[in-house]
Structure 1
Amino acid sequence: MKILHICAVDDTAQTLLLPQIKYLLSRNLQVEIACSSGVETKKLREKGYIVHSIQIDRKISLISNVRSIYNLARLIRNNQYDLVHVHTPIAAVLGRIAAKIAGTKRIVYTSHGLPFHDLSSPIQYRFYFTVEKLVAFITDLILSQNYEDIATAKKLGLCPSDKLRYLGNGVDTYRFHRDRLDPSHQSQLRKALDIPETANLIIGTIGRLTRKKGSGYLIEATAKLLPQFPNLHVLVIGSQLSTDPEPFHTELIEKIHKLGIEQHVTLTGERQDIPEILGLLDIFTLPTFTHEGLPRSILEAMSMNLPVVATDIRGCREAVVHQQTGLIVPPQDSNKLAEALAILLSNNQLRQAYGNAGRERIEAEYDEELVFKRLASFYQKLGIHLDETSTNLAINNF
């Protein structure tokens, strides 16, 4: 049976969707991807994945959006997919409309955080809710990465409750395991990242360089922390995509230089060795204030026995248990962020306790195998047969 996954950019396919796609391929399904072309497209194709390059803007633009719907509908109609599975806000709306036009029998939507949330303006909230409610009529199943979105959707009457299911988010607990780190490699990696030898405490964050991911607040917090922790170093892991609606890279660098802390901050750019980089950290933080589903970066950090400081927003507050696996702080508040980080920076025993509790929580609730099993169950209820005996390893680097 043939499945099409649709998302806005190939980076999303590479970083977020690939584990599920690999699993579905191993169960003897034909799985293809449709997204805007980028640097990851060639890499995915070289590994054997079928990627259809269709331009999908990450903003509302009538002419461009209509063109995307037309091209997606043509692709879906020509390939006669048994199920279309959509992701990311704009692509999810356009993809569902296209799938309906093309006559697809099964349409599934994974919400990586509903686009309306408690930090939206009233106008934004009403608009995005109305759009989501309308396209929910043509959606067979809506999968949520967190429980809070399900409760919100039911409370607001977004769709019939039998269309809503919890999928969750997960991490490869084998790959993200501190015991797999090689001390000599870690030492070399530290040098390669130009982390000063004097740095004895390291904080890190992961995410695209957009304003809403909150790295600017981390930089402000760092400046506040340095008088107390002069040997502190910060790693900002991630890059800026050309399609990002709110580019932030230049502004972030300017902020770092304005505060005079460039010797204490490293912008790593895009990295593939995330477990190893996380292995260098003492604390992980995600000061985001955007619409998160259940941030995988937090789960990966917890899997690596790191304490986490996260903001009090949907998804983050579900993953991090306050004063058990980390600390929760108000969003867009560098003072409160600095205070929480200072608590952990000054207490190694507390860092270890939170980190160990985080790893236990990941093993119990956020192993990606649990997500795969839920997804398989949802697909089977929609009439998509998965071969549980198959061990299809046709994809390179599977």
Structure 2
Amino acid sequence: MKILHICALGGTAETLLLPQIKYFLSQKLEVEIACSPGKEVEELQNKGYKVHPINIERKISLISTLKSTYQLTKIIQKNQYDLVHVHTPIAAFLGRIAAKIAGVKRIVYTSHGLPFHDLSTPTKYKFYFIIEKLAALITDLILSQNYEDITTATKLSLCPPEKLGYLGNGIDINIFQRDRLNASHQNKLRKSLGIPDTADLIIGTIGRLTRKKGSEYLIEATAKLIPQFPNLHTLVIGSECIGDPEPIQAQLIEQIYTLGIENHVTLTGERQDVPELLGLLDIFTLPTFTHEGLPRSILEAMSMSLPVVATDIRGCREAVVHRKTGLIVPYQNSDKLAEALGTLLSNSQLRQAYGKASRERVEAEYDEELVFQRLVQFYKELGIVFP
């Protein structure tokens, strides 16, 4: 049977969807991808994955929206998929319309965080809610990465309750495992990043360099912490995405130099060695705001036995258990972020206890094998037959 995954960015397919795709390919299903062109798409194609490059904007524009929908419809009609599985808000909306026009019998949507949220303006909240509610009419199954979105969708009557399912999120806990790290390699990695030999405490974050990830609050918090922890270093792991509506790299660089902390902060750019980078850290933090599903970066850090400081938003507060695996702080508040980080920086025993509990929680709740098992069951209930 044939499945098509649709998302906006090749990076999403490569980072978030590839584990699922690999699994279902191993189960002898035909699995393909449709997303915007780019180097990630070329890399996936070179590895043998079947990817259809379709330009999908991350903001709504009438001409580009119609064009993308038309191209998606043609691809779906040509390849006669048994199931179309959509991701990310705009790509999910267009993908569902195209799948419906093309006569696909099974349409599944994974919500990586509902696009209407606490910080939305009333106009945006209403707009995205209407979009999601209309799209739900032509969706057979809506899967959520967190329980909170299921509660919200049910409360707001986004769709009939029987259309909702909990998928969760997961990672390969064997790859993200501290025991795999090589001490010599870690020392070389540290030097290659320009981390001073004197740096005895390292905090870090992972995410696109976009406004909503909140990296500027981490930079502010770092500046507040340096007087008390003069040998502190901060890693900001990630890069800007082409077409991102709110890029922030230039602002971060200016902020770092304005605060005079350029010797205490490293912007790594895009990296493929995330487990090793996490292995350099003493604390992981994600100062994100607006909306999240269930951040993969937090799960990766927890799997590497790190304590986590995260913001009080959906997804983050579900993954991190306050005062057990880490600390939850208000979003967009560098003072509270610095205070929480300072608490952990000054107490190695607390860091170790939270880190141990983090690893145990990931093993029990967020192993990607659990996600695969749930997805297999959902697909079977929709009539997908496994060879």
- TM score, norm. by length of structure 2: 0.99
- Give the letter aligned to residue 142 of structure 2: I
Q: Is the 8 A contact 2:84 2:107 kept in 1?
A: yes
Provide structure 2 residue ranges, at least 5 long, that are not aligned to the other structure.
none
SS in 2 for 1:290: coil
- Give the letter aligned to residue 120 of structure 2: S
Instruction: Name the structure 1 match of 2:172.
Output: 172
Instruction: Name the structure 2 match of 1:394.
Output: none
Provide structure 1 residue ranges, at least 5 long, that are not aligned to the other structure.
388-398
Instruction: Name the structure 2 match of 1:8.
Output: 8
Instruction: Name the structure 2 match of 1:238.
Output: 238
1:331 aligned onto 2:331: yes
In structure 2, distance between residues paired with 1:26 and 1:163: 27
- Give the letter aligned to residue 69 of structure 1: T
> Which has the higher relative contact order, 1 or 2, with Cα contacts under 8 A spaced 6 or more apart?
1
Instruction: Name the structure 2 match of 1:132.
Output: 132
Residue deviations 1:155-187 (CA, integer Å, cap 9, x gap) = 000000000000000010000000000001001
1:78-89 correspondence runs (5 A):
78-89=78-89
Instruction: Name the structure 2 match of 1:261.
Output: 261
Instruction: Name the structure 2 match of 1:219.
Output: 219
- Give the letter aligned to residue 32 of structure 1: E
Residue deviations 1:254-301 (CA, integer Å, cap 9, x gap) = 111111111100000111110000000000000000310000000000
In structure 1, distance between residues paired with 2:32 and 2:170: 21
1:151-162 correspondence runs (5 A):
151-162=151-162
In structure 2, distance between residues paired with 1:66 and 1:249: 32
Residue deviations 1:353-372 (CA, integer Å, cap 9, x gap) = 00000000000000000000
In structure 2, distance between residues paired with 1:46 and 1:68: 24
In structure 1, distance between residues paired with 2:131 and 2:34: 22
SS in 1 for 2:205: strand
Q: Is the 8 A contact 2:177 2:275 kept in 1?
A: yes
- Give the letter aligned to residue 202 of structure 2: I
Instruction: Name the structure 2 match of 1:34.
Output: 34
Instruction: Name the structure 1 match of 2:96.
Output: 96
Q: Is the 8 A contact 2:176 2:275 kept in 1?
A: yes
Instruction: Name the structure 1 match of 2:304.
Output: 304
Give the CA deviation at 1:63: 0.8
1:344 aligned onto 2:356: no
SS in 1 for 2:110: strand
Give the CA deviation at 1:7: 0.2
Residue deviations 1:323-358 (CA, integer Å, cap 9, x gap) = 000000000000000000000000000000000000
In structure 2, distance between residues paired with 1:304 and 1:385: 36
In structure 1, distance between residues paired with 2:350 and 2:52: 48
In structure 1, distance between residues paired with 2:133 and 2:41: 32
- Give the letter aligned to residue 128 of structure 2: Y
Instruction: Name the structure 2 match of 1:317.
Output: 317
Residue deviations 1:81-138 (CA, integer Å, cap 9, x gap) = 0000000011000000010011111000000000011121111111111110000000
In structure 1, distance between residues paired with 2:345 and 2:141: 44
1:74 aligned onto 2:74: yes
Give the CA deviation at 1:386: 2.1
SS in 2 for 1:262: coil
Instruction: Name the structure 2 match of 1:391.
Output: none
In structure 1, distance between residues paired with 2:252 and 2:62: 31
Q: Is the 8 A contact 2:118 2:290 kept in 1?
A: no
In structure 2, distance between residues paired with 1:320 and 1:14: 25
- Give the letter aligned to residue 360 of structure 2: E
- Give the letter aligned to residue 130 of structure 1: I
Q: Is the 8 A contact 2:140 2:163 kept in 1?
A: yes
- Give the letter aligned to residue 198 of structure 1: T
Q: What percentage of aligned pairs have identical amino acids?
A: 75
In structure 1, distance between residues paired with 2:369 and 2:194: 36
Instruction: Name the structure 1 match of 2:142.
Output: 142
Q: Is the 8 A contact 2:206 2:297 kept in 1?
A: yes
SS in 1 for 2:126: helix
Instruction: Name the structure 1 match of 2:46.
Output: 46
- Give the letter aligned to residue 263 of structure 1: N
In structure 2, distance between residues paired with 1:51 and 1:381: 27
Instruction: Name the structure 2 match of 1:367.
Output: 367
In structure 2, distance between residues paired with 1:89 and 1:221: 31
User: How large is the Cα RMSD of the aligned pairs?
Assistant: 0.5
In structure 1, distance between residues paired with 2:386 and 2:321: 35
